[in-house]
Structure 1
Amino acid sequence: MKLASSFKRNTSVLAISMAVATLIPAAASAQTAGQSDDLVLEEIVVTSQRREERLQDVPIQVAAFSDSKIEAAGIKATQDFINLVPNVSLDDSFTYLNTFVVVRGVTQINNADSPIAIIVDGVPQNSQKQLKMNLFDIERIEVLKGPQGGLYGRNAIGGAINIVTKAPGDTLEGQVNASYGRGDALDLTAVISTPVGDEGGLRVSGSYKTDNGRIENSHTGEKVDFIDHDAEVRARYNQNFGERVKMDLRASYRDFEAGAVYDSVVFSGEPDDYVAPSENIEGITFGDIFDASAKFDIAFDGATLSSITGYTALEEYFRGDIDFTNAVDKPGGFLGLGFQAGQGQNLDLDLFSQELRLVSDTDGPFRWITGVYYLHTGRDLLTRAFIDLTGDVSQFDDGIAIVNLSESNSNNAYAVYGSFDYDLTEALTLSGALRYDRDKRSQTDLTSGDVRKTDFDSVQPKATLTYHFDDNKLVYGTYSTGFRSGGFNAPTVRIPVFKDEELENFEAGFKTSWLDRRLVLNGAVYKSKSDNFQFFFVDAASASQIIGNIDKVDIWGVELEAQALVSKGLQVFAAVGTTDSEIKENTDVPASVGNKTPKTTSWSLNAGFQYDVELTDTHNLMMRLDYEHRGKKYWQIDNLAVQEPVDLVDIRVGVETEGWGLYFTARNLLGEKYYTDYNPRAYSGLDTDIGFRAQPSTWAVEGKVRF
């Protein structure tokens, strides 16, 4: 069975690789066949550097998805576009909103700051719980790789994700989408946009999901990955006050309840031993998120002043098993103590941010940006472990508690920044950025009343030299830095305060377009040095999630990307990224020196094609295939638990007109079995390994109507 699976996987890899290798050079012959000059790859305009620029002019490795690419790839959630970007991964784990994003070896830490800045319509999303989004009515997605601290500040140590929702237009329009898939998964979205007066517009959109699940608990027979409901509504209102003043208001509300805490117990200790969950407590996550923002742009002669205000109130509560098994399979109980146990946590988070930014006009050889930023975060966390007598999650509130931790965290972050671009010649541009971040944190132990306070700060410079050979070819060299603030663990754990992490990155790259923009070739080589690299593990005995530091880490890698328009309607694409991390110094665990950092994937590859063909004057057939290869994954700092490579194939086929479309989508077509998160017993806090199962093969049929 293993041999057949391996043969199937390797055959797919070989077939797709041969197709890409054959079709990309074919773009060269396409030009000589007399194709028209308007047959070019789509040109995407991005705001990666806080002003509008052509994607190919930005001296950063950026993966960008326009609205047409989002629809063609069937992108409906964060996971969908992350899977299309080499050297970036997003792993589901534990609760419904909990994910671990890894960018060029820099890793997400649970209950801490993200390693990647998340920006939605210009507003920073300052919690890791905000990364797992339902993506509907989206104009553009940009993924920037490498530290972006000079522009985006704290938490951009690995890169940045910039998401732009669709703005109201000057005509009445709308759209309705509905899909049904494996596991009775139902996904509905609706959008309506209307002008308001002569200078205003309102756009309202909504999403609703429900899902019976596909992963079965072998002990209870129930599906653990269910979604009882995930409902969201969003509104955006734009208004122009004359020619110089613009207002952009945005609000959203999301309410959800879904399965959670369904790790499988892996008694063998082998990450490729794919077993079913078997806990006796059915885990659950529930909560809601409210977001609101207000942006005002005031145009002066020579510059535009922007005020950006954001507010988020987020609640996520979970309940579930703590030993992830049952009295039949493990009669010794929790940690061999003779009883079953459960756990739960209440997270209440409030975020308020304010930014003032002044951006110069793009005319002239010298362009600049300057600004100030403030963020307040309030985070209350209640964590309990309890003796499980009934298998019911209500024991969190009325059962026998064996651990009860309650804390209130507050931090105020301040920043001032500036950046510039200066054309030394028509071909040579010098760019620079400098940002100072200060983070003042405090934690109150609500049980004892003890208060702890500490500060973290960092100066983050960036310098880039870009040389344009012509309008379609450039090379660049960059020195950039990133900063991720430190913070407090739970008051009673052995590492009470974890240190802030800082990273230096040296990068050289190129961006080129060839054959009248029918062929794009981009690439870069990078070397990063991290001080106080943050990593995460669990101490189950105290029901504590702990963040520690690795003193010094080196990371280096290579990234290459190719897109080719082979003929009218036929586009092929491929991209590869490598990440080679090495622990250089680790005071806490000296034996880990020389190992790779946690959750590191050695290399990743994306390849595929999209073919659009006219069936009639009004009907179009779309076919798309995406292949993803993930190299070996090293789960923890001892490198003893290593997951073998994973190969994923997605397909999407549809018939569409200007007014409607019908589609079929299949993900993980080959049925690859793997874990999205895996914690060896030395780091899980348990006496067994645990793994969080990935979704099996899924399919969905979808219909949409535009008006």
Structure 2
Amino acid sequence: MGLKARPLRAASSLLAMAVAGAVAGSAWSVPALGQDSQAEASDAGNTIVVTGLRRADALQDTPAAITAFTSQAIEDARIIRPADFVNLTPNVNLVETQNAGNAFIIIRGITQARNSEPSVAVVVDGVQQVNPAQFNQALFDIEQIEVLKGPQGALYGRNAIGGAIIVTTKEPGDTLEGSMTAGVDNGFGYFLRGGISGPLGEDGGFRLSGSWQDTDGYIPNTFLNEDADPVENLSLRGRLLFDLNDNIELDLRASMDQLRTQALYFNIVTDVNDTSLPVRVNNAGQNDRDIYNVSARIAFTNDNFTVTSVTSYDWLEEILTGDAFDFRPIEESFFFRPADSPFGFGLGLGFDLNQSQFLDVEAFSQELRVQSPDNQPLFWMFGGYFIATERYISTGNMLDTGAGVFPVYRVPSTNPLNPQTSFLADSQDNVAWSLFGNLGYEFSDQFRADVSLRYDHDHRENTTLTPPGFLPNVPGFPPAVSGELRTESFSDWQPKVTLTFTPSREVTLYGGYSRGFRSGGFNQTGVGAIAAGNGIVGVNDIYEAETADTFEVGAKLQLLDNMLSFNTAAYRTISKNSYFFVFLAANSTQNLGNVPKTEIQGAEFEAMLRPSRDLALTAAYGLTYSDIKEFPDAAAIGDEAPLISRSTINLGLQYNPAISNDLDALLRVDYRRTGKTWWDVPNTTVRDPIELVNARVGVEGESWGLHAFATNLFNEEYNAEFSPGGFVFKARPRVYGVEATVRY
């Protein structure tokens, strides 16, 4: 197996020792990192219940690697955006780059890239998000977040290849209540979050909640003398919940998110660790994203089964504009400056470029499932899922005349101040459906087996809408044609088998096999020819579907009368046709290629020690080794897969002492170390480990709270992403502020 396998062997040996100790009768427990301990939850009579496996189970009894955050943990850790809970979860990373809609989840080495299908299924209140551009939204009024690691395709279908993220918002209550949080930060920015809930008659309830953020930004643009990342973000959500009779529940939900910020403020370097260059784009540009969702969930329950119908409509639109390569002011830019320029070698063409990209997605989805009650030896569920998606995307470059950059939507620019030099557009009509079934049986109090199977079929039609004058035709290759219709279908079976052994109430051991599947898709017409002409392998007009087969074993344990809790898991994944990203400068396109085969091995350890009810110490370690086994360029075999970090380390402390009978204090510190990270198939550069510290301190009464907070407390400077071609995107520096909360 070579030198790479040795650390994993050590991790697997530790896992085997933990399992052996459990079988020998040790009393251990596993709460989720960053949340109330299982012991305290049980003492309070509110054992943490997770639903990620499509049935309600106590977290301790769930045979899966799940990190869960309760509403109290979300408040204590100040989780207000996805990066906040991702950074508290071992072996999970979030890469934020380019624009709001491009935020890549990496779970256990299963990665994501620009314009790709997501690596996880994201489910909010039972409704699965239809496009990865929806993920990076504000989080507010949240009841629970569950992060399931490992392929969950048998439960959530295509795109759950790396896992699933289950977000549950707070439900309407039967009494009038609400809360409001307001604060300021060093942006200078201010924000509001809050909600109100109450009854509607005897059998109904409502909940309205929202979030507003307004900041000038945190990353200076030294050329324009303003910040590069201002934000105006308004999010609203409403829920109506009705018990139509003793057997039928109706849950209606509507939400919107309007974001106004900027994008594309890259630098160009050869080393991802080079943070010396300031942002100096001459076009501030824009990044406007609007997301709307309406959904209806109807559940009919009797003594024998529950029938659930979930219907959803989603619409997303995002436009972004800004500088183009090489993201410098016009006279310093690569295309403008001459070969002997003091700013470096240039083409001396006397002009610069800017760019515009537009995305429009509409989707209708329907799920219907029937399942047995949770509290019986035989659990069963079966159903079907259907989704129809229409997507339009365009991208192009314009001459930068110094008059600014203007958005381009569905037709090339005719603006004389913004003449179009390249333009590519296409539309996609996708129809996908699936059938699924799950069976679980408790043979005894100690042994349970679960078997799931899902078949997904995804039919995709792509129409080239690029005008003839902008088609990227290359001599020696078939010509690209405007109006060309391409069709492809991608399908696969996704099985999942899990065996669970609970030798005592304090011990859960599990192991199994699962497969994940992610659809392939279309690069823009002619990309394959251009890639070949530029000596780039693995990139074609169509990129293939990806599968991931994973074997996993794990243990959940409690020790010292529930004072110490411990989680551990080890896994091995074979990924076929994983995605990687390529930017083709020849036609300014963002494209996906495939790595035919990658092997991924890893392990995780999580622990919480609660020596008293007001003190909790947490620790977690995640380890991932990847190895490219097959690739058209033999030089890449043995390299690390793109976007994968070697390890994650989490350490946390939370102290909640009582100051008086009605006043408590809070001190919380979270440390995160993300190990070496590789970014492209040739492994041309590797980011050194980064270390981040977040802190929150304050006082709380029964109906109010006052807190100070800081993220990236020690102002670690690093690049959040390196993209092939040397594009780096700066990470957010230290952000700090104060906030006050009132509950009524």
Instruction: With the length of structure 2 as denominator, give the TM-score of the two structures.
Output: 0.87
| 1:377 is the counterpart of 2:389 | yes
1:317 paired residue number: 319
The one-character-per-residue Cα deviations of 1:319-363 (angstroms, maximum 9, x if unpaired) are 011111123433543973622101111110001110001110123
Residues 291 and 313 in structure 1, CA contact (< 8 A), matched pair in contact too: yes
Q: Is the 8 A contact 1:265 1:278 kept in 2?
A: no
Q: CA deviation at 1:57?
A: 0.9
Q: Secondary structure at the match of 1:601?
A: coil
Looking at structure 1, the residues matched to 729 and 714 of structure 2 have their Cα atoms a distance apart, in angstroms, of 19
- Residue 305 of structure 2, aligned match among 303, 306, 310: 303
Residue 567 of structure 1 and its aligned partner are, at CA, apart by 1.3
The 5 A counterparts of 1:202-351 are 202-227=206-231, 229-266=232-269, 268-323=270-325, 324-330=327-333, 332-333=335-336, 336=347, 338=349, 339-351=351-363
Task: State the partner residue of 2:15.
Answer: none
Match of 2:22 in 1: none
SS of aligned partner of 2:420: strand
Residue 187 (1) aligns with residue 199 (2):
no
Q: Is the Cα contact below 8 Å between 2:272 and 2:722 reproduced in 1?
A: no
The question of whether the paired residues in 1 share the 8 Å contact of 2:333 and 2:352 is answered with: no
Gaps of 5+ in 2: 1-27, 30-38, 338-345, 467-481, 529-539
Q: Which of the numbers 425, 430, 434 marks the counterpart of 1:411?
A: 430
Deviations 1:482-534 (A, max 9, x none): 00000001112112100000010000110112233222111001000011111
Change in CA separation of 1:542 and 1:42 when aligned onto 2, cut-off 3 Å: farther
| 1:65 shift after superposition | 0.1
SS at match of 1:129: helix
For each residue in 1:342-398, what CA deviation from the matched residue of structure 2 results, as whole angstroms up to 9, or x when unmatched? 111111000111000111012331111111000111100121111111251127542
2:710 partner SS: strand
Give 1:619 shift: 0.6
1:607 pairs with one of 651, 654, 661: 651
- The aligned runs of 1:615-694 (5 Å cut-off) are 615-679=659-723, 683-684=724-725, 689-694=726-731
State the Cα distance separating 1:300 from its structure 2 match: 2.9
Letter of the 1:645 counterpart: P
Partner amino acid for 1:527? Answer: R
- The corresponding residue for 2:343 is none
Q: Which amino acid aligns with 2:222?
A: S
Cα deviation for residue 126 of structure 1 reads 1.6
Say if 2:174 is the partner of 1:170. yes
Question: Do structure 1's residue 453 and structure 2's residue 472 form an aligned pair?
Answer: no
Q: Choose the corresponding residue for 2:616, options 557, 564, 571.
A: 571
Q: 1:343 touches 1:385 (CA, 8 Å); kept in 2?
A: yes
Q: Report which stretch shifted further, 336-345 or 454-463.
A: 336-345
Q: Distance in 2 between matches of 1:691 and 1:42?
A: 46
Cα RMSD after superposing both structures: 1.9
Shift in CA distance, 38/115, structure 1 to aligned 2, threshold 3 Å? closer
Match of 1:366 in 2: 378
- Distance in 1 (CA, whole Å) between partners of 2:372 and 2:336 is 64
3-state SS of the aligned residue for 1:699?
strand
Provide the rounded CA distance (Å) in 2 between the counterparts of 1:36 and 1:50. Answer: 25
Query: Aligned partners of 2:689 and 2:395: how far apart in 1?
Result: 35
2: CA distance, partners of 1:167 / 1:42: 17
Q: After superposition, what is the alpha-carbon deviation per residue over 1:294-317, rounded to whole angstroms, capped at 9, x for unaligned?
A: 000001331100000111110000
Q: Secondary structure at the match of 2:656?
A: strand
d(CA) in 1 for partners of 2:596 and 2:503? Answer: 41
Preserved CA contact (<8 Å) 2:272 2:719: no
2:442 corresponds, among 419, 423, 430, to 423
SS at match of 1:670: coil
Summarize deviations over 1:65-121 as a string: whole Å, max 9, x none.
Answer: 000000000111111111101111111111123211111111112112101000000
CA distance in 2, matches of 1:178, 1:303: 44
CA contact (8 A) 2:68 2:144 kept: yes
- Rate the CA distance shift 1:310–1:503 in 2: closer, same or farther, 3 A: same
1-side partners of 2:142 and 2:92: how far apart?
21
Secondary structure, aligned partner of 1:177: strand
Cα distance in 2 for partners of 1:655, 1:425 equals: 48
Cα distance in 1, alignment partners of residues 559 and 308 from structure 2: 37
In structure 1, the partner of 2:14 is none
- 8 Å Cα contact 1:322/1:540 also seen in 2: no
C-alpha contact (below 8 Å) 1:113/1:126 kept by paired residues: no
Q: Contact 1:274–1:673 at 8 Å: present in 2 too?
A: no
Among candidates 149, 165, 168, match of residue 145 of structure 1: 149
CA contact (8 A) 1:280 1:391 kept: no
Matches of 1:222 and 1:42 in 2, distance apart?
49
The answer (yes or no) to whether the contact 1:37–1:516 under 8 Å persists in 2 is no
8 Å CA contact retained: 1:39, 1:518: no
C-alpha deviation, 1:221, in angstroms: 1.8
CA distance in 1, matches of 2:139, 2:364: 23
Amino acid at match of 1:453: T
3-state SS, counterpart of residue 672 of structure 1? coil
Alignment of 1:499 onto 2:544: yes
Matched residue, 1:157: 161
Q: Distance in 2 between matches of 1:40 and 1:556?
A: 39
Q: Does 1:698 align with 2:707?
A: no
For normalisation by structure 1, the TM-score amounts to 0.92
Q: Which amino acid aligns with 1:456?
A: F
Q: Following TM superposition, by how much is the alpha carbon of 1:635 offset from its aligned partner in structure 2, in angstroms?
A: 1.1
The answer as to 2:630 corresponding to 1:597 is no
Q: Aligned partner of 1:563: which letter?
A: M
Q: Is the 8 A contact 1:137 1:205 kept in 2?
A: yes
| 2:203 aligned with 1:199 | yes
Measure, in 1, the Cα distance between the counterparts of 2:276 and 2:621. Answer: 27
Deviations 1:419-442 (A, max 9, x none): 111112221111110000000000
Cα 1:37–1:422 change in 2 (3 A) is: closer
Tell me which residue corresponds to 1:9.
none
Whichever residue aligns with residue 468 of structure 1, its letter is: T
1:220 Cα shift? 2.0
In the TM superposition, structure 1's runs of 4+ consecutive aligned residues that sit over 4 Å from their partners are: 35-42
